[in-house]
Amino acid sequence: MHFRHLAKAIRGHRDVVIPTETVNLVVERLQSANIKDAKARQEHIQGIREVKRQLEALVCPRCGGELKRRKGQRGEFYGCSNYPRCRFTRSV
Ligand SMILES: [Zn+2]
């Protein structure tokens, strides 16, 4: 999620459910985690695009194995063909 979308999403909530101190702590964490360096930001975005591309091609982003459709107790999901060596899963 882009920072500007996050701010809009947060503004959509009006009821106070989290104490101000906790909110300030979260703000501090988010600001320190925000990537300010342009090159690092670009690499971060490229990394996300690469993972997205792999998931669409049904390739495990952790080990490069094939993602296969499986049936579990809580419904269908994609699991890595290298299970149990790789336990990567994603929702269908
Ligand atoms: Zn895998």
d(CA 88, CA 65): 10
Summarised one tens digit per residue, pLDDT across range 73-89 is: 999 999 999 999 999 99
Ion ligand 1: residues, Cβ under 5 Å = 60, 62-63, 65, 80, 82, 86, 88
* Distance from Cα 35 to the centre of ligand 1, integer Å: 28
pLDDT at 87: 97
pLDDT at 88: 96
Structure confidence at residue 51 (pLDDT): 92
Q: What pTM was estimated for this model as a whole?
A: 0.55
* Cis peptide upstream of residue 84 (ω within 30 degrees of 0): yes
User: Which pLDDT tens digit goes with each residue over 29-57?
Assistant: 998 888 888 999 999 999 999 999 998 89
Ligand 1 center from residue 59 Cα (angstroms): 8
Expressed in angstroms, the distance from the first to the final Cα of the chain is 20
Question: DSSP class of residue 14?
Answer: -
User: Is residue 67 a contact partner of residue 81, using CB atoms and an 8 Å limit?
Assistant: yes
Tell me the CA–centroid distance for residue 84 and ligand 1, in Å. 9
Domain boundaries defined on the chain: 59-92
Cβ atoms of 55 and 67 within 8 Å: the answer is yes
